[in-house]
């Protein structure tokens, strides 16, 4: 970063401060991770200069011979990683990938059935403040009050009642795995498309640590920066390509096309312009890393750490939504401790522990206050934390939550957080 420090010391200083924050805090936001040095390097290259609207071999600009190879490499690695027939690596984000899916399969006013945001769903799955809820008619299924889990009989009842054009699966705060076959059966019964947004769990799925939606869903979207540990971005996949059985037609020609053709044109020119070739290069690096055998061990450890953390919380009389976890995250319901998510998040932040406040199902607080916190293990597992370290993570969280307004307490915890982080080095400050 020598040139940046020289040319723009103010900006370089902020980047350095953020690097230090990441190095010396407990990063427990379930949707975050630490990309490798190689992945970050790929993003800081001259590929950012290149316009490459279109796809490899079919671009609207000259000079694309090398970025074609970059995009092909990313596609081939992603296909291998997820055993998918087809992928599109151009979406700039998860929301952009999801927008392309809507554009491909839905007309304005069509009905979507998705998991309620207040029960762990995602903004782009029909929330009234998001384009998905504004443009389409959004209906929701939820989790059960007593179990915190989705009841597939209720999903079936709801699907029969609202007759959706598309059913979405996927969540941002659901600690359990999904029964994809049950969703498929329901989608087939009501004649709906089935779309899985695996943004949170893609890395676990790639490593065989959760049920695999690829061959069961019509289309799958993901981000590339969460459990997948790549650069910030999105991707769309089709497990089994072929003529789409519900007869989606290409918007201009009216011809029935394969899933892949419909989706490619929904990304470009449908909803995006030039792809971010530097980010696509970084995706290729991350997919290459995920194809190595130590990625499977990493994902197993992510799950072991989450399970261990869940046990620590339940053994100390905290309530967890659904009582535990199958994946990389837990959702702590703080009502029995007399705390809100907002108070907990702010106190933990002052102690160097980063989590996010989160609604719990049937929450009585507003989204700005909430009754819960969401905690994920992917990032700290990347820096080498195992179960022993997660015991310490729990102890320090518990110490904060017992006295969230005691500044001395928070300062003492922050010192211990930094000590433990120092034993597991992350980014070399000399390189940034
Ligand atoms: N913002 C992401 C999360 O935290 O889960 C979802 O897009």
Residue 232: active-site member: yes
**Domain residue ranges of the chain, discontinuous segments joined by +:** 11-30+294-431, 42-290
223 part of the active site: yes
Q: Is the CB of 172 under 6 A from ligand 1?
A: yes
* pTM above threshold 0.85: yes
- Mutate which of 122, 222, 233, 358 for ligand 1? The one with the most ligand atoms within 8 Å of its CB, which is 122
At residue 250, the pLDDT reads 47
Kindly give the number of the ligand 1 atom that is closest to the alpha carbon of 356: 4
Tens-digit pLDDT profile for residues 377-417: 999 999 999 999 999 999 999 999 999 999 999 999 999 99
CATH number for the domain running over 42-290:
3.40.640.10
Which has the higher per-residue pLDDT, 250 or 309?
Answer: 309
Q: What percent of the chain has pLDDT over 90?
A: 93
CA of 272 to the centre of ligand 1 (A): 21
To the question of domain 11-30+294-431 being in CATH 3.90.1150.10, the answer is yes
Q: Is the pLDDT of residue 38 over 90?
A: yes
At 59-78, the pLDDT tens digits run 999 999 999 999 999 999 99
Q: From CA 159, how far away is CA 137, in angstroms rounded?
A: 13
pLDDT confidence of residue 251: 46
pLDDT digits (tens, 9 = 90+) for 137-146: 999 999 999 9
Residue 234 beta carbon below 6 angstroms from any ligand 1 atom? no
The pLDDT assigned to 256 comes to 53
């Amino acid at each position: 970063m020598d040139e940046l420090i020289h040319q723009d010391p103010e900006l370089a200083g902020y980047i350095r401060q953020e690097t230090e924050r990441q190095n010396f805090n407990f990063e427990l936001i379930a949707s975050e991770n630490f990309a490798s040095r190689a992945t970050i390097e790929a993003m800081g290259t001259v590929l950012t200069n290149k316009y490459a609207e279109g796809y490899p071999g079919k671009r609207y600009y000259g000079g694309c011979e090398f970025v074609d190879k970059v995009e092909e490499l990313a596609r081939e690695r992603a296909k291998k990683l997820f055993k998918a027939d087809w992928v599109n690596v151009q979406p700039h984000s998860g929301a952009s990938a999801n927008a392309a899916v809507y554009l491909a399969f839905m007309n304005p006013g069509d009905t979507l059935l998705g998991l309620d945001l207040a029960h762990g769903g995602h903004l782009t799955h029909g929330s009234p403040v998001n384009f998905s809820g504004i443009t389409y008619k959004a209906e929701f299924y939820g989790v059960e009050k007593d179990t915190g889990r989705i009841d597939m009989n209720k999903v079936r009842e709801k699907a029969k009642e609202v007759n959706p054009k598309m059913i979405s699966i996927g969540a941002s705060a659901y600690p359990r795995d999904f029964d994809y076959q049950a969703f498929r059966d329901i989608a087939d019964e009501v004649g709906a498309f089935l779309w899985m947004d695996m943004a949170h769990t893609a890395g676990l799925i790639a490593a065989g640590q959760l049920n695999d939606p690829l061959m069961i869903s019509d289309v799958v979207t993901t981000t590339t920066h969460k459990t997948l540990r790549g650069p910030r971005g999105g991707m769309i996949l089709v497990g089994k390509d072929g003529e789409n059985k519900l007869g989606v037609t290409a918007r201009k020609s009216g011809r029935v096309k394969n899933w892949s053709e419909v989706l490619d044109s929904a990304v470009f020119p449908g909803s995006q312009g030039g792809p971010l070739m530097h980010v696509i290069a970084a995706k290729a690096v991350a997919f290459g890393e995920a194809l190595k055998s130590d990625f499977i061990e990493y994902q197993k450890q992510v799950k072991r750490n989450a399970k261990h953390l869940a046990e620590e919380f339940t053994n100390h009389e905290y309530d967890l939504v659904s009582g535990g976890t199958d994946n990389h995250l837990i959702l702590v319901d703080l009502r029995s401790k007399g705390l809100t998510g907002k108070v907990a998040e702010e106190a933990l932040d002052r102690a160097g522990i980063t989590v996010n406040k989160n609604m719990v199902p049937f929450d009585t607080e507003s989204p700005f206050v909430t009754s819960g916190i969401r905690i994920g293990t992917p990032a700290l597992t990347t820096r080498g934390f195992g179960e022993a370290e997660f015991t310490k993570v729990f102890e320090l969280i518990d110490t904060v939550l017992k006295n969230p307004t005691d500044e001395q307490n928070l300062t003492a915890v922050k010192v211990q957080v930094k000590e433990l982080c120092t034993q597991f080095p992350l980014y070399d400050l000399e390189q940034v």
